[in-house]
């Protein structure tokens, strides 16, 4: 049973995230994107030449690629890349203790409850403020096992032999327009390496905070779990409400070597001015497991399809996702499962909730080539519509060739009916309580599979969303 | 006086008048049965009292212990002490009976007060035993995939847990076999007492053999046409609703 204190430990709500303190940045790349922007960023970060070249190639690819409006939302055209600020920081060296973090930045994270969560149940925390990690620390016992957990800037500088080997390999520059953009201006994000056989018991957490207006956050996360190791990583995100568009375009690359287990949890709670265009992909080697737990709340438009490439025999991939599209929001989310070896199995469970004029889109891709044997995929996607104006679309693409493979796909659309709400009201629940209980019921079987701290947080976030949505 | 009081109630749905000048009083501590043929407006009456949004009250008053019900939302009525056991209860996928009832009881506590989990489960298990329900039932989603009998039992379980001042039981006997009917009746009878008023709505006299009412009202075409002690139910059983209809016709002529 969940106790009251557990709930409070992870109580991050929309309103708590909606604030910003004025912070003077020592480094500011200015507005707009050009080669000059890239050189500015590379100079500040003291990038090696190969990274500078990588960035310039990213910029070129970004400019060449068309906006994917032919299959995705036309709303992407509303992003004015000339008005965005691409790099803002107070320095590139993250602090190891909260005391060292500048006061004006620290109070933001204190208000979000990050240091408290760290004390309660985390093995390590990284806190990114606009472009750079301002704090990064790992519990001593975990560090002594050889686990590396630093910001990507620091990872690149201090661990080039591991970093360079895997960086940009799972998600190449030209994967899509926004991965190219990230490749050009990336900054921040986590770099994690878990040595062979090391099982990290408590989650590592990164918190991404956008504080500045007209800003673009482009963190780049790279996680490598060496053979037989285990890790749970969690990211949280918030931004204050601004009237202008804010861009968040991350790239996350995961590598699970033979027999490793890697679980990546996202509980994002963006304000409704954020364009959230993120590329996430994991590579699972033999008998390894990559699992994405992805909760998308808030933002103006989210486009995110966590993927797993099952490269080795008996590799497993899983995506469990929940998307909540409130009034005026579009959650365009899904999953991709690329089977590239025999006996690989994948599982996709996606639940979406559309409220008011909110729109939830599911895009799924399952690929099993002809020469493979004994591959399995299970896909379930369920949509819940709250109002008559709510919208949901499903675009599953499943290509399964060959005879020895099994695929199962189930989809459903349901509605919270007026009768159901009346029934619950007759038991004494207010309309908002009734709605929120129905929605929590809808996601319940999925949320039960999440680590407890995050399932409690997610339920609270859903309740807060529902409170605002009922007259 | 402590009572659920209906005065000259008129109700329409889609411009059709369903309840046409109905008056009734259920004092706290009594059991009143409303019997009537299909389409007489019995279930409409129940839903209007509970505050269903589809119906328009065009005339009349309903009060609960003197308070005007029509000024209250359905959930406020419920929290003031009005309960309705539904004829067709809704399914709530993914929400367990235990969580649903817990939310319902929590909603009745003052702001900032938390329901005691241990006491809650003790009470829940006690009431389930009374209704012959297996404990495993608490982890099933409310009404999802339930048989007719299970749904009705769950309604009575909610009644027992919520402990309202007045309960309307809308066709609680429909779809029940004789064993299930006896169990449900046993549950209701055990809740009878000076602090609960019950309005039993039924088409058949059968239920009244097991839950013996203090008063019986016969409803035809949106009005109460006869009221009497429990013997009226037997008379009605013997002579049929046509007899009551004739009465209604006579009343109309002599008015």
Residue A349 lies in a domain: yes
Residue A115 sits in the same domain as residue A211: yes
Residue A404 has pLDDT above 90, yes or no: no
Say yes or no for a CB contact (<8 Å) between B158 and A427: yes
Residue A397 sits in the same domain as residue A433: no
Residue A377 sits in the same domain as residue A464: no
Residue A197 lies in a domain: yes
Residue A3 lies in a domain: no
pLDDT of amino acid B25: 96
Flag the least confident range among A206-215, A295-304, A324-333, B92-101: A206-215
A350-359 pLDDT, tens per residue? 999 999 999 9
Residue B232 lies in a domain: yes
| Counted domains in chain B | 1
DSSP, collapsed to helix, strand or coil, labels residue A270 as strand
Residue A285 lies in a domain: yes
Residue A287 sits in the same domain as residue A331: yes
Instruction: For residue A165, count CB atoms less than 10 angstroms from its CB and return exposed for 0-12, middle for 13-18, buried for 19 or more.
Output: exposed
Matching residue, tokens 């990588």: A54
Residue B144 lies in a domain: no
Instruction: For residue B19, count CB atoms less than 10 angstroms from its CB and return exposed for 0-12, middle for 13-18, buried for 19 or more.
Output: buried
B180-196 pLDDT, tens per residue? 899 999 999 999 999 99
User: Average pLDDT, stretch A19-37?
Assistant: 87
Residue A335 sits in the same domain as residue A227: yes
B69-107 pLDDT, tens per residue? 999 999 999 999 999 999 999 999 999 999 999 999 999
pLDDT of amino acid A12: 37
Residue A295 lies in a domain: yes
What CATH number is given to the structural domain containing B246? 3.40.50.300
Instruction: Note the pTM of the prediction, 2 decimals.
Output: 0.85
| B67 has a chain A CB within 8 A of its CB | no
Residue A7 lies in a domain: no
Give the domain range for residue A451.
418-471
Give the domain range for residue B215.
3-91+164-254
Residue A408 sits in the same domain as residue A435: no
Say yes or no for a CB contact (<8 Å) between B50 and A423: no
Q: In whole numbers, what is the pLDDT of chain A averaged over residues?
A: 90
Could you tell me where the DSSP H helices lie in B107-230? 117-130, 148-162, 178-191, 206-210
User: To the nearest whole angstrom, how far is the Cα of B234 from the nearest Cα of chain A?
Assistant: 33
Residue A102 sits in the same domain as residue A125: yes
Residue of A412, A413, A422 best to disrupt the B interface, most CBs of B under 10 A: A422
Residue B193 lies in a domain: yes
Boundary (domain end) residue, out of A400, A417, A434: A417
Residue A460 sits in the same domain as residue A369: no
| A7 has a chain B CB within 8 A of its CB | no
Residue A306 has pLDDT above 90, yes or no: yes
Residue A454 sits in the same domain as residue A390: no
Boundary (domain end) residue, out of A417, A442, A459: A417
Residue A396 sits in the same domain as residue A422: no
Residue A279 sits in the same domain as residue A188: yes
| Counted domains in chain A | 2
Confirm if A61 and A175 have CB atoms less than 8 A apart: no
Residue A102 sits in the same domain as residue A38: yes
Residue of B46, B55, B95, B167 best to disrupt the A interface, most CBs of A under 10 A: B95
Report the alpha-carbon distance of residue B253 to residue B255 in Å, rounded: 6
Boundary (domain end) residue, out of A397, A417, A437: A417
């Amino acid at each position: 049973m969940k106790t009251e204190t557990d709930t409070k430990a992870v109580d991050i709500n929309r309103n708590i995230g909606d604030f910003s303190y004025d912070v003077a940045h020592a480094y500011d790349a200015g507005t707009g994107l050009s080669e000059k922007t890239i050189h500015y960023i590379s100079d500040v970060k003291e990038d090696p030449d190969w990274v500078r070249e990588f960035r310039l190639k990213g910029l070129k690819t970004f400019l060449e690629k068309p906006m994917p409006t032919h299959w995705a939302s036309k709303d992407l055209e509303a992003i004015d890349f000339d008005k965005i600020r691409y790099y803002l920081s107070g320095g590139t060296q993250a602090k190891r203790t909260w005391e060292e973090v500048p006061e004006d930045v620290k109070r933001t994270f204190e208000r979000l409850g990050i240091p408290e969560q760290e004390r309660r149940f985390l093995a390590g925390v990284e806190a990114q403020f606009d472009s750079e990690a301002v704090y990064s620390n790992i519990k001593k016992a975990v560090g002594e096992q050889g686990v590396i957990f630093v910001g990507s800037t620091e990872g690149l500088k201090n661990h080039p032999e591991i970093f360079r080997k895997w960086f940009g390999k799972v998600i190449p520059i030209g994967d899509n327009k926004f991965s190219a953009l990230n490749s050009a201006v990336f900054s921040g994000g986590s770099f994690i390496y878990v040595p062979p056989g090391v099982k990290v018991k408590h989650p590592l957490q990164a918190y991404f905070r956008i504080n500045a207006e007209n800003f673009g956050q482009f963190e780049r996360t790279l996680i490598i779990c060496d053979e037989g190791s285990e890790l749970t990583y969690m990211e949280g995100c918030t931004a204050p409400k601004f009237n202008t568009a804010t861009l968040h375009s991350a790239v996350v690359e995961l590598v699970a070597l033979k027999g490793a287990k890697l679980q990546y949890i996202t509980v994002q709670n963006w304000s409704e001015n954020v364009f959230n265009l993120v590329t996430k992909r994991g590579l699972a080697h033999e008998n390894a497991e990559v699992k994405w737990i992805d909760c998308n709340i808030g933002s103006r438009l989210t486009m995110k399809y966590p993927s797993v490439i099952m490269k080795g025999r008996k590799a497993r991939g899983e995506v469990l996702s929940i998307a909540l599209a409130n009034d005026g929001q579009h959650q365009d989310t899904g999953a991709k499962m690329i089977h590239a070896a025999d006996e690989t199995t994948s599982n996709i469970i996606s639940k979406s909730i559309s409220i008011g004029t909110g729109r939830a889109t599911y895009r799924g891709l399952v690929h099993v080539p002809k020469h493979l044997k004994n591959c399995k995929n299970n896909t379930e996607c369920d949509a819940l519509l709250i109002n008559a104006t709510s919208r949901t679309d499903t675009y599953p693409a499943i290509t399964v060739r060959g005879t020895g493979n099994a695929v199962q796909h189930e989809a459903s659309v349901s509605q919270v009916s007026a009768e159901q709400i009346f029934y619950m009201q007759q038991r004494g629940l207010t309309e908002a309580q009734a709605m929120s209980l129905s929605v929590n019921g809808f996601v319940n079987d999925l949320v039960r599979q999440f680590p407890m701290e995050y399932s409690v947080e997610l339920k609270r976030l859903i309740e807060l969303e529902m409170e605002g949505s009922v007259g | 006086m402590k009572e659920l009081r209906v005065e000259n109630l008129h109700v329409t749905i889609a411009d059709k008048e369903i309840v046409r000048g109905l008056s009734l009083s259920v004092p706290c501590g009594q059991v009143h049965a409303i019997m009537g043929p299909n389409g007489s407006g019995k279930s409409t009456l129940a839903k209007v009292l509970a505050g269903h949004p589809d119906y328009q009250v065009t005339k009349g008053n309903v009060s609960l212990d003197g308070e005007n019900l029509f000024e209250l939302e359905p959930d406020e009525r419920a929290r003031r002490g009005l309960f309705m056991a539904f004829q067709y209860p809704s399914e709530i996928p993914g929400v367990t009976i235990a969580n649903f009832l817990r939310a319902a009881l929590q909603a009745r506590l003052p702001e900032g007060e938390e329901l005691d989990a241990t006491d809650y489960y003790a009470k829940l298990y006690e009431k389930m035993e009374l209704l012959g329900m297996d404990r495993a039932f608490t982890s099933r989603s409310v009404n999802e995939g339930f048989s007719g009998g299970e749904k009705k039992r769950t309604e009575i379980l909610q009644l027992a847990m919520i402990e309202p001042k007045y309960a309307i039981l809308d066709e609680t006997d429909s779809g029940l076999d004789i064993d299930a009917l006896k169990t449900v009746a046993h549950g209701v009878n055990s809740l009878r007492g000076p602090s609960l008023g019950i309005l039993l709505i039924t088409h058949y006299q059968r239920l009244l053999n097991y839950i013996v009412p203090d008063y019986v009202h016969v409803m035809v075409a949106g009005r109460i046409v006869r009221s009497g002690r429990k013997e009226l139910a037997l008379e009605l059983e013997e002579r049929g609703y046509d007899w009551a209809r004739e009465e209604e016709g006579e009343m109309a002529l002599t008015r």
